[in-house]
Structure 1
Amino acid sequence: MTPRRSVLYMPGANERALEKAKTLPADALIFDLEDAVSPDAKESARERVCAAAASGDYGKREVAIRVNGLDTDWHDADLRAAAQAGPAAVVVPKVNSARDVMTIERALELNGAPEHTMIWAMLETPVAMLHAEEIASASERLTVLVMGTNDLAKELHAEPAAGRAPLVAGLSLSLLAARAAGKQILDGVYNDVQNLEGFEAEATQARQFGFDGKTLIHPGQIEPCNRVFAPSDEAITRARKVIEAFEKAKRDGDAVVTVDGRMVENLHVAEAERVLALAEAIKAR
């Protein structure tokens, strides 16, 4: 299990930001060649980002490169350079179909990407929401779906609303697709970097929905994000109690298992095992 609680975008044109990223406690970093880089800086940013990704200087942090979209003039060169740099993943914006995924996969293979370089597909449009299952299932090399909530809101003509009500349908469809295909899924960014209370509320909502983590745009969001998406001490204690009670019941031949007055079934044991595995994976980082 790979923890991806906090996944921080870093602007690829900013050398100081790439250097600072070596000290940040994010689970993963996305070196961005898309939105954070102006057209006249695309080529220099590409060289800088690929060198950083290939350096091995980021410890246990997972390093991904976000390339420009398939319909841009920079996409082919970005993907070629990223494949040769061999990051943990290539993040591709505005993936709308299984065909897009297969095109990206072929390009990575043709350009010599190592087997460990995965595809993270960004779902940002109504078309992507309606084809999320086929996108998620298109390739074993695709391991993570990333929500592009800002672009989705724009495409929907949605207004800000409590609980992100206009986005819930898209978030839910994408989450269903990820789980059906056995992939991880990351929530989109929270724009108000000064409002940590609002950020934590949105991260908590995402965790309650079932997301594995959240993409971030500011280092100040890392600590609350790591905390929200990590199992609490209470959850770990309960998970251990569930597993111990279930194992004892099997040994004793009991047909009914309860913990704190609640019935325990196989599905609760599986969830308890997932919680403990995540806690151990986080500890190992």
Structure 2
Amino acid sequence: MTLARPRRSMLFMPASNARALEKAKGLPADGLIFDLEDAVAPEAKDEARTQAAAAVASGDYGGRDLVVRINGLDTDWWRDDLKAVVPNHPFAVLIPKVEGPEAIHKVEEEITWHSAHPDMEIWVMIETPKGFLNAGAIAAASDRLTTWVVGTNDLAKDLRAKHTKDRLPVITALGLALLHARANGLTILDSVYSNFRDAEGFAFECQQAKELGFDGKTLIHPAQVDVANSTFAPSEDELTLARRMLAAFDEAKAEGKGVAVLDGRMIEELHLEEARRMVTMAEAIAG
């Protein structure tokens, strides 16, 4: 799948924090997730809904993707969340702790009731053992479903696993999620890195996520935005090689050849998909 929009950095913002919402207007994140769930105390839920709805409708956040994370479907809050924000047409709503297609069906039915825009997307968080094991059924649940966010904090807790730098205790789950996401043409975003003061650890995890195949990373602090943006963007060397590959193949094709040779390496059509994706991504970032 070629991304129409970059998703290098998706920053969670507590929707109850008016100061944070104001500051977010000037941040270079690719998108913002206005959080109504974990970052919001029960007594602040109403205020958070009101502020999230106003932020979505304001037009003050430029071209960023504005997503609202609702409360879990095992709470009494999620329907009120959708009632408040859907009429203001967020780019997407994000459902936490999805463990099967039923949660997506419930949300889709509810947003339809509130006259959701036809293009409004549903994003889901896969963050429990059951969620990862049901990834195939979740992926096929709705045409509105476009994006997964993996969550390793809850997963590690449920597995009784350790948080390690290389993430080997949860690497099987990450790989499983990536396989299902790619098989179903979904965007997939890596988990948050909780220690925002650990710049070295965060940079390492961003690089690992890129090498695994993630499209970007979810963030909890503005200080993480620049590193995520630079890591998940194509580098100048990658772009130069991608453009050379495309040019070499076009030249070979004009000569009636089905393959091209560049720097001693055979270039076929199957190699060009990633090259085109990189060039398209770079153009989207520049735009």
TM range (shorter): over 0.9
How far is the alpha carbon of 1:35 from its aligned partner? 0.6
1:145 and 2:141 correspond: no
Deviations 1:69-114 (A, max 9, x none): 0010111111221211210010110111112111111111111111
- In the alignment, structure 1 segments of 5+ residues that lack a partner are none
Structure 1 residue runs of 4 or more that deviate by more than 6 Å after TM superposition = none
**Which position in structure 2 is the counterpart of 1:38?**
41
**Which position in structure 2 is the counterpart of 1:238?**
241
SS of the residue corresponding to residue 157 of structure 2 reads helix
1:228 and 2:231 correspond: yes
Greater shift after overlay, 110-119 or 179-188? 110-119
How far is the alpha carbon of 1:256 from its aligned partner? 4.3
Paired residue type of 1:273: R
Give the Cα–Cα distance (whole angstroms) in 1 for the partners of residues 88 and 172 of structure 2.
37
TM-score when scaled to structure 1? 0.97
SS of the residue corresponding to residue 284 of structure 2 reads helix
Give the Cα–Cα distance (whole angstroms) in 2 for the partners of residues 131 and 48 of structure 1.
34
**Which position in structure 2 is the counterpart of 1:120?**
123
How far is the alpha carbon of 1:214 from its aligned partner? 0.2
State how many pairs are aligned. Answer: 284
Are 1:175 and 1:211, in contact at CA under 8 Å, matched by a contact in 2? yes
1:278 and 2:286 correspond: no
Deviations 1:205-263 (A, max 9, x none): 10111100000001000001000000000011000111111111111233542211111
Are 2:9 and 2:31, in contact at CA under 8 Å, matched by a contact in 1? yes
Give the Cα–Cα distance (whole angstroms) in 1 for the partners of residues 26 and 259 of structure 2.
50
Give the Cα–Cα distance (whole angstroms) in 1 for the partners of residues 56 and 256 of structure 2.
54
From 155, 162, 166, the equivalent of 1:163 is 166
Greater shift after overlay, 158-167 or 238-247? 158-167
**Which position in structure 2 is the counterpart of 1:182?**
185
From 70, 79, 83, the equivalent of 1:80 is 83
Q: 1:241 to 1:74 in 2, by over 3 A?
A: same
Give the Cα–Cα distance (whole angstroms) in 2 for the partners of residues 233 and 127 of structure 1.
40
Deviations 1:151-170 (A, max 9, x none): 11111111122310111111
Greater shift after overlay, 178-187 or 110-119? 110-119
SS of the residue corresponding to residue 201 of structure 2 reads helix
Give the Cα–Cα distance (whole angstroms) in 2 for the partners of residues 212 and 13 of structure 1.
28
Are 1:133 and 1:180, in contact at CA under 8 Å, matched by a contact in 2? no
Are 2:253 and 2:259, in contact at CA under 8 Å, matched by a contact in 1? no
1:91 and 2:94 correspond: yes
**Which position in structure 2 is the counterpart of 1:24?**
27
SS of the residue corresponding to residue 75 of structure 2 reads coil
SS of the residue corresponding to residue 101 of structure 1 reads helix
SS of the residue corresponding to residue 29 of structure 1 reads strand
Please, what is the CA RMSD of the aligned residues? 1.0
Overall identity of the aligned pairs, in %:
51
SS of the residue corresponding to residue 167 of structure 2 reads helix
How far is the alpha carbon of 1:149 from its aligned partner? 1.3
Give the Cα–Cα distance (whole angstroms) in 2 for the partners of residues 174 and 256 of structure 1.
33
Give the Cα–Cα distance (whole angstroms) in 1 for the partners of residues 105 and 280 of structure 2.
32
